[in-house]
Chain A
């Protein structure tokens, strides 16, 4: 049976269409994907992302233990800061992509993808040298409040001064009387917060945000809008754009790989790949012919398959058929052209600068 977040009943009451997502019964949309997408771009949207997992490392040596597991560098950030990172295997390909929160050098919390919760925890448990990980996934609920009006909405419900909370910073505080980890992060390209609360407080927090947000036109948003929003930003989705078949460098995520820090899993492979040259790259492209690129479609050059589309949609804000995919490095520069095989039709496409959506 599909797993439920603490908000399952709340979603059903709102008339959400529920789907199975990685074993979770989740809302894909409440009203319309495009309407929800636009609410986040122009106002504020509320997402239940309680299906995400949380793994905690507590005790002396926590930072060093996690730093040996992830590609980014927790030693380079301050307490109260978070980093996006790869949880890589020895080949430099992804076990998962994660966000690591540094409370202190002795307490690190890692947020992992729902689809990888068990795999990640097992991986961390077997590879952690030092502090042992604790799976906190069932203790936490997580809501994402995203959009230009998110800060105004959350500020009215908290005494924490959000103007002092920069991007990828977090703090502990109360929102609507609920104890939260307030993190200025997200997966939409807009300003906003991810609020981690106790699972039992999730409904109260959700209801308070929807009620207080009425004046902002807040909309509950499902996984459909979450996907179209992140695609317009070319944010990677595990299982689509990144996986255990492509390295962090091929995925264009060199910026989260700190090759100059101490040893971490995948480092040697990436050092070698960097020296040898990356042969394929993840690019963003637009179709110049008609159609919509989709995950799994072949990318063709002169009729021959040379790569694969990993994500694609009709971007509701950019109003173009956009895609993400792996192509040979020779075809990865902006302006490079190739075709996408859409049901047997070779539809022309051009590599463009990303993110597809640029803030006005």
Chain B
């Protein structure tokens, strides 16, 4: 299956994506990640207002079979979480770049986003993995 990697997003090596939206950044997991996870049945979200740190765990995503950690692509403050995932965690599978978004983070330093992978670099990462 071809991996869907939108060109306007940034990516991490842990298969999360980041979309700049005004002063904050929306974060989710990639198409590749949701495929490897399988049916997502539970997402443990951080609290709004929580501080998250780049490369550190901020939540958990569970499929029928396995528990996987979510790592923050940025350091900053959580300004929104996708509460819709508690009733409909499968949105992560069906629409990973849309309804399946996970958190919105206000980065402590907006320039952090520039340090993430672009679509070409992420595509290369998948091809070499």
Residue ranges of A at the interface with B (Cβ–Cβ < 8 Å)? 17, 28-29, 32-34, 37, 224, 227-228, 290-292, 294, 313-314, 316, 321, 343
- Contact at A34–B60, with CB atoms within 8 Å? no
- What is the CA–CA distance of A290 and B32 in the complex, to the nearest angstrom? 27
Other A-B pairs beyond A290-B42, A314-B42, 19, CB < 8 Å: A28-B38, A32-B38, A32-B39, A33-B38, A33-B63, A33-B64, A34-B39, A34-B41, A224-B38, A227-B65, A228-B64, A290-B86, A291-B42, A291-B44, A292-B42, A292-B62, A313-B64, A313-B65, A316-B64
Choose one: A33, A290, A321, A343; the contact of B65 (CB below 8 Å).
Answer: A33
Docked complex: B60-82 residues within 8 A CB-CB of A: 60, 62-65, 67
A351 CB, min distance to chain B CBs, angstroms? 22
Closest chain B residue to A228, Cβ basis:
B64
B41, B42, B63, B64 — which one has the most chain A CB atoms within 10 A of its CB? B64
- What is the CA–CA distance of A299 and B31 in the complex, to the nearest angstrom? 35
Residue ranges of B at the interface with A (Cβ–Cβ < 8 Å)? 38-39, 41-42, 44, 60, 62-65, 67, 86
- What is the CA–CA distance of A343 and B69 in the complex, to the nearest angstrom? 11
In the assembled complex, 5 residue pairs joining A and B whose CB atoms fall closer than 8 Å, in A order, are: A33-B65, A34-B39, A227-B65, A290-B42, A314-B41
- Contact at A224–B67, with CB atoms within 8 Å? no
B72 CB, min distance to chain A CBs, angstroms? 16
B37 CB, min distance to chain A CBs, angstroms? 10
Closest chain B residue to A321, Cβ basis:
B42
Choose one: A29, A290, A291, A343; the contact of B38 (CB below 8 Å).
Answer: A29
- What is the CA–CA distance of A76 and B123 in the complex, to the nearest angstrom? 63
Give chain A residues whose Cβ lies under 8 Å from the Cβ of B44.
Answer: 291, 343
- Contact at A33–B42, with CB atoms within 8 Å? no
Give chain B residues whose Cβ lies under 8 Å from the Cβ of A34.
Answer: 39, 41, 64
- What is the CA–CA distance of A227 and B63 in the complex, to the nearest angstrom? 13
- What is the CA–CA distance of A294 and B44 in the complex, to the nearest angstrom? 14
Closest chain A residue to B63, Cβ basis:
A33
- Contact at A33–B60, with CB atoms within 8 Å? no
Closest chain B residue to A319, Cβ basis:
B41
B26 CB, min distance to chain A CBs, angstroms? 23
- What is the CA–CA distance of A33 and B42 in the complex, to the nearest angstrom? 14
Choose one: B38, B39, B41, B86; the contact of A292 (CB below 8 Å).
Answer: B41
Closest chain B residue to A342, Cβ basis:
B44
- Contact at B64–A294, with CB atoms within 8 Å? no
B33 CB, min distance to chain A CBs, angstroms? 14
Give chain A residues whose Cβ lies under 8 Å from the Cβ of B39.
Answer: 32-34
Give chain A residues whose Cβ lies under 8 Å from the Cβ of B38.
Answer: 17, 28-29, 32-33, 224
A119 CB, min distance to chain B CBs, angstroms? 25
Closest chain A residue to B42, Cβ basis:
A292
- Contact at B60–A224, with CB atoms within 8 Å? no
- What is the CA–CA distance of A290 and B41 in the complex, to the nearest angstrom? 12
Closest chain A residue to B57, Cβ basis:
A343
A38 CB, min distance to chain B CBs, angstroms? 11
- What is the CA–CA distance of A37 and B38 in the complex, to the nearest angstrom? 13
Give chain A residues whose Cβ lies under 8 Å from the Cβ of B65.
Answer: 28, 33, 224, 227-228, 313
Give chain B residues whose Cβ lies under 8 Å from the Cβ of A313.
Answer: 64-65
Give chain A residues whose Cβ lies under 8 Å from the Cβ of B86.
Answer: 290
Give chain B residues whose Cβ lies under 8 Å from the Cβ of A37.
Answer: 64
A50 CB, min distance to chain B CBs, angstroms? 21
